[in-house]
Amino acid sequence: MPPVQEPHPKFARARSRALATTPDESQSAPADVAEIAPYLRPDEADLLRRAFAFSAKAHLGQFRKDGEPYITHPLAVTETLAGWRMDAQTLAAALLHDVVEDTGISREEIKSNFGEAVADLVDGVTKLDQLQFESKRHAQAENFRKMLLAMARDVRVILIKLADRWHNMSTLDAMSVESRQRIAQETLDIYAPIANRLGLNVVYHELQELAFQHMYPTRYRVLEKAIATSRMDRRELVEKINQAIRQKLEHCKIKADVYGREKHLYGIYRKMQEKHLAFTEVFDIYGFRVIVDDVPTCYLALGSLHSLYKPIPGKFKDYIAIPKANGYQSLHSTLFGPFGTPVEVQIRTREMHRLAEEGVASHWMYKVGSTELTEAQRMTHQWLQSLLDIQADSRDSVEFLEHIKVDLFPDEVYVFTPKGKIMALPREATAVDFAYNVHTDIGNHCVAARINGDYMPLSTPLKNGDRVEIITSESARPNPAWIHFAVTGKARAHIRSALKHVHRNESEMLGQQLLNQALRGLGVIPADVGEDRWEQLLKTSGRSRGDILIEIGLGKKLGVMVARQLLSREGEDVSRAAGPILVRGSEGVAVRLAKCCRPIPGDPIIGQIRKEQGLLIHTHDCPQVSHYRDDPDKWVDVEWEPDLDKTFDVSIRITVANARGVLAKVAAAIAAEGSNIDDVHMEEEGGNYTNLYFTVQVQNRVHLSRLMRVLRSLQEVSRITRLKGNQGLRGTHVIDPSRKDS
């Protein structure tokens, strides 16, 4: 057993309480357990005692990695929550939160002894260790998903989990180095941002400090020592500034409490990393907090301090008029202090200070008699509900966690709706994020944005103070390109969901065409296949009709095999040929033109079924499909749809004599033939010739032939070749220009 370590100062009392409880006493918990939360009613205190007795008995004989009796942990978690004045159900659940996971006691036992609400809270915190996942990453993601969704239903779940993580981080020394670093990284990625999002400022900074200490112990010790030395050097300066602020406020007859505060080690370290500074270059290690009675006094205090020390331009933020997304309010200003030292000052009311320190817990949603939500509660509730929206539009737990990590939460920008409502979004959020934040339907049908009265693309990043109006169209649908510039988890989840829905619809339509083709190949008219045949197939497979068609469209199933299963008989008349599938070149993700040969209308084509990719259209002479030609199950008959009205990319190489203005002359000829130039680059061939590589857009093979004849007639053009492959790079498949149909 590892040696017993000194407990974190905050949790020392919980340890002494637990050690004072002998195994026999655990059958009826000592009376002072209820003193953890003296605000509870007698019946609630009894619930706490019973929960303690149950937990102590369940964990009897179990020890933590640091050698302490296990009961010290749930008791420390409970004391933290009691400090936030949580209700009796939450405190009981905190005492029991590891019972199901670590002792084999079932949720039903918790429910029968302590009620449904306590059981739900315990269940929300419990991990999914009993289930099997394909990887540790998926297991971790599913645990977070379960916890966050339980939190969305009842925020008390995450408050228990944060208190649990706080105590675990304070006793992490007993773990292996690898485990410490993994848990510390997880804390920085997930738990600290959630604490910040809920406004639990103390927990947020404590988790960051502890994570920093365990991830980079040497850096932590060096920085801690440097701060201690700096503290001695700067004590006189800090005291001088503190005294000057007090005197200035008293002179202006402003009643206020003034506190000097040292910035957190992790905050200093992060600033050094982000701005590439040495410790000696970080001057604003100390800040000052001014606490006043009401909002008007905040602004009076700000004015008086700006007359004491000059404000640094661009370093003022009014979080009172525009609160942060977690409800935080305060005035922030950075001033030029004595000797040019930057001085950061925060000015807030006492109520704002309480909210800043305790967040959601300071305005507890579940307090008896509370009928109206504060602004902080409303914003928190809105965010919790957004978790449910993100979950509904995420394919799996890993994707859900990815969206949540994006949303947990960079610095905000504050923008205005056309009606003047303030909306907080993550920094670098774009107009499409704004659209989805207003409403999912607005996002799904947006086409452009009007920002400060000017029409702008949806990819435009938003800035503080922008006034944003979204332009929509009923026919508009999400564009796959949006994923590359959407920032918020909500927007990304809804875009992916919409694209997935489109993908399924396209794949189902293609699957129906492939199945019909296979049925005709077996001599059966698709309309003659009765519903009884489908019911028999669905019953056997356990899948829906749509799922089977989608799998055919994605190449997971062969249409001919499903057709035979539907018919359930052999020896069918296969004399009737299957009709080809018509290709128009704009089907989307279910039918795609292969990049290896870039077919265009007029090229003889063949369709290749690829698993998870749907139907790929190749030219007949494409080397990629040459080995499939003798296997009819690997390809399908396809034809171009007549009268296509879209353009197709094709790459050509033009060898020209080096002459002034030749590139402009070639480009003009291409434009004159009604072709757009999508890409152009060149390379020296050696001697007096240069190769020009163009990607041009043509309507069909006839249009391409006409364009190539015009280009070949130019005096400077020596040779012209159509290229098959990636944008005309050397080594790609080439069509012989001497062929009549090239």
Q: How far apart, in whole angstroms, are the C-alpha atoms of residue 619 and residue 605?
A: 4
What are the backbone dihedrals phi and psi of residue 100, each rounded to the nearest 5 degrees, phi first?
Answer: -65, -40
CB 643 within 8 A of CB 587: no
What would the DSSP string read from start to end of 67-103?
SSBTTHHHHHHHHHHHHTT--HHHHHHHHHTTHHHHH
Mark whether 257 is an active-site residue: no
What would the DSSP string read from start to end of 666-709?
HHHHHHHTT-EEEEEEEEEEETTEEEEEEEEEESSHHHHHHHHH
Mark whether 101 is an active-site residue: yes
Marked catalytic residue, from 24, 32, 102, 375: 102
Packed helices 489-521 and 397-407: angle between N→C axes, nearest 10 degrees: 150
What are the backbone dihedrals phi and psi of residue 673, each rounded to the nearest 5 degrees, phi first?
Answer: -90, 10
Q: How far apart, in whole angstroms, are the C-alpha atoms of residue 585 and residue 693?
A: 23
What are the backbone dihedrals phi and psi of residue 336, each rounded to the nearest 5 degrees, phi first?
Answer: -80, 105
Q: How far apart, in whole angstroms, are the C-alpha atoms of residue 345 and residue 288?
A: 5
What would the DSSP string read from start to end of 648-672?
EEEEEEEEEE--TTHHHHHHHHHHH
* 14-19 contacts, C-beta under 8 A, 24 or more apart: 14/72, 14/75, 14/76, 14/78, 14/79, 15/68, 15/72, 15/76, 17/75, 18/68, 18/69, 18/71, 18/72, 18/75, 19/69, 19/72
For residue 167, give both structure tokens: 């105590």
Q: How far apart, in whole angstroms, are the C-alpha atoms of residue 452 and residue 416?
A: 10
Marked catalytic residue, from 32, 87, 101, 535: 101
Q: How far apart, in whole angstroms, are the C-alpha atoms of residue 204 and residue 197?
A: 9
Q: How far apart, in whole angstroms, are the C-alpha atoms of residue 331 and residue 631?
A: 73
**Which residues does residue 316 pair with via DSSP β-bridges, in sequence order?**
333
Q: How far apart, in whole angstroms, are the C-alpha atoms of residue 734 and residue 268?
A: 59
Identify which of 65, 100, 34 has the alpha carbon closest to the alpha carbon of residue 170: 65
Q: How far apart, in whole angstroms, are the C-alpha atoms of residue 634 and residue 540?
A: 25
Contacts of 371 (CB under 8 A, 6+ apart): none
What's the start-to-end Cα distance of the chain, in Å?
Answer: 81
3-state secondary structure of 470: strand
Pairing outcome for strands 614-619 and 591-593: parallel
CB 578 within 8 A of CB 592: no
* 646-649 contacts, C-beta under 8 A, 24 or more apart: 646/584, 646/585, 646/586, 646/699, 647/676, 647/697, 647/698, 647/699, 648/585, 648/593, 648/598, 648/599, 648/600, 648/601, 648/697, 648/698, 648/699, 648/700, 649/598, 649/678, 649/695, 649/696, 649/697
Distances (CA, A) of 347 to 119, 172, 351, 574: 42, 36, 12, 84
Type and span of the H or E element at 562: helix 559-567
What is the number of alpha carbons within 13 Å of residue 554 lying toward its C-beta? 13
CB 628 within 8 A of CB 635: yes
Distances (CA, A) of 150 to 50, 89, 404: 25, 15, 14
Identify which of 545, 615, 547, 621 has the alpha carbon closest to the alpha carbon of residue 582: 615
Handedness of CA 687, 692, 693, 699 (dihedral sign): negative
Catalogue the active-site residues: 101-102
